Structure 1
């Protein structure tokens, strides 16, 4: 008996068998870059759009509904690699990487801090959060913008299919503090000159008096019928302590999210 690596002669196996092998390759870089170089036969299998659809289904990647797949030719390989649907597109949603990937629009008072776990909040489900300072009088103080095309959503999907775009965040505060919180969302729409402007900006505000906080509340904004040319989404949020106590006494924010979701 010999040991060590062995070479599978793909001439001895059927296309269906070889396809089943390739569907089970877990490393996407190997599957997309290395496997097509093995032989012309491997290349022919991996350039077939049907293969990438099957791979998405095998890996349980969120896809457009079946009836839409019959009407549109989606780039299933790109969907597999980017996975743009039914998942949170925000980077660093709860402060796992401090304030990386976030644009801080206003720095005042004591600024921002990361609490792990959030102080005097219900921490059973949310173990990390950003906390604001007492002097954050401007509500929209942190921002993250998502380029939907770069993240893998096709322009055809945004212009013709228009899945829901859901922007949300969880908010709470110390049990002994009141707070004011605001979530804002806007769509970036491209014009004939290729310039993107924010349109359809929406806001949701939450105010809680002292001794009524401590529990987490999900604040959500949903876009469903948006203009053709939508290419970006921006989430802005912030708040302040209603009593103006010293330190990071404002609302705690966690699980910031932007999702593109099919019904």
Structure 2
């Protein structure tokens, strides 16, 4: 190999030349190390520049208000005592709520400011769980089988089937089908666990909206009943709604109906909602030909006026 070619090979490969034996690495390698050290220093300086704890509290609040509530409670709260104090306080969560500029959002913020929770962390749970405007009934259409429901089987019991009629805005087009004896199922909703707090529940500024769909097969009649109760902390009934519509007759073209009710002027002390419905067929046929129920909902809303 010629001398010039050898020199190029030595520089490109980082190998020492014949005359450099015992003198350490060539300058090209030393320069590379210096570059690496410089990059590390710049990286450390950059990371030091990302210390959010150096921000003024009001600016840090603004930054944290863009973080999802679950991350605030699960990760940010553990960073340091200062961050924990911000997450546990009310200012951060009020800032998050203030971002909703809709009529509903403005009404919600006004009510929350007027009826702040005695325990500040309750406001954090409220923002995380978002109970206002959300269906509090779990598994309303049978997407999870019979899970989340306390069931009593009559006849051949409850099963889940596809809807015979499309239900608008339902999360799934499936339903619970009853049998030739009365079948019932229920849920008890703990409003505080859902994210609401006593001062808000007792404010007189909320309403509880109930909805349930029921129907029949075209070739078999059915019966249906619904009971909804508002309970206090001791499970005492403070208000209730009950309906038992006329049975659907046989040969009915897959009739389907919606039952609705709104609890307004809610009494002080409501902490639970008890929801229970029944169904059976009118022909007493073995199998599952009874009332078909689906898309049950319990929704808490803020009164706009």
TM-score by length of 2: 0.71
Task: Give the C-alpha shift of residue 226 in structure 1.
Answer: 3.2
Q: Label 1:189 to 1:15 Cα distance change in 2 as closer, same or farther (>3 A).
A: closer
Contact 2:97–2:109, Cα closer than 8 Å, also in 1? no
Equivalent of 2:150 in 100, 103, 112: 103
CA distance in 1, matches of 2:139, 2:47: 43
Structure 1 match to 2:224: 181
Q: Give 1:57 deviation, angstroms.
A: 4.3
Unaligned runs of at least 5 residues, structure 1: none
Q: Answer 1 or 2: which has greater helix percent.
A: 2
- Contact (CA 8 Å) 1:132, 1:248: kept in 2 or not? yes
For 2:192 and 2:87, locate their aligned partners in 1 and report how far apart those are by CA, in whole Å. 23
Give the aligned partner of residue 18 of structure 1.
60
Distance 1:187 1:179 in 2: 27
Q: Secondary structure at the match of 1:80?
A: helix
The residue number in structure 2 matching 1:55 is: 96
For residues 243 and 183 of structure 1, the distance between their equivalents in structure 2, rounded to whole angstroms, comes to: 21
Please say if 1:133 is aligned against 2:179.
Answer: yes
For residues 43-192 of structure 1, what are the structure 2 equivalents within 5 Å? Answer: 43-58=84-99, 65-74=108-117, 75-104=122-151, 106-115=152-161, 117-118=162-163, 120-122=164-166, 126-136=172-182, 141-190=184-233
Residue 201 to residue 73, structure 1, CA distance change in 2 (3 Å): closer
Question: What is the CA distance between 1:180 and its match in structure 2?
Answer: 1.4
Residues 121, 175 of structure 1: 8 Å contact kept: no
| Residue aligned with 1:196, SS | coil
Q: How many equivalent residue pairs?
A: 252
What is the SS of the residue equivalent to 2:220? Answer: coil
User: What's 1:208 paired with?
Assistant: 248
Alpha-carbon shift at residue 38 of structure 1 (Å): 3.0
- CA–CA distance in structure 2, aligned partners of residues 15 and 218 of structure 1: 51
Indicate conservation of the 8 Å contact 1:189/1:230, yes or no: yes
Q: 1:81 to 1:60 in 2, by over 3 A?
A: farther
Secondary structure of 2:271's counterpart equals strand
Instruction: Label 1:26 to 1:235 Cα distance change in 2 as closer, same or farther (>3 A).
Output: same
Pick closer, same or farther for the CA change 1:225–1:59 going to 2, 3 Å.
closer
- What is the alpha-carbon distance in structure 2 between the residues aligned to residue 199 and residue 13 of structure 1? 50
Greater RCO, CA 8 A, separation 6+? 1
Contact 1:188 1:231 in 2 (8 A): yes
Aligned match of 1:197: 236
Q: Please say which of residues 212-221 and 62-71 is displaced more in the overlay.
A: 62-71
Residue 123 of structure 1, CA deviation: 6.5
Distance 1:213 1:33, change over 3 A: same
Are the counterparts in 1 of residues 204 and 266 from structure 2 also a CA contact under 8 Å?
no
Contact 2:94 2:109 in 1 (8 A): no
The CA deviation string for residues 40-86 of structure 1, in whole angstroms up to 9 with x for no partner, is 55345434412112223448997663442342224421211232211
Structure 1 or 2, whichever has the larger Rg, is 2
Considering only aligned residues, what root-mean-square deviation do their CA atoms show, in Å?
A: 3.0
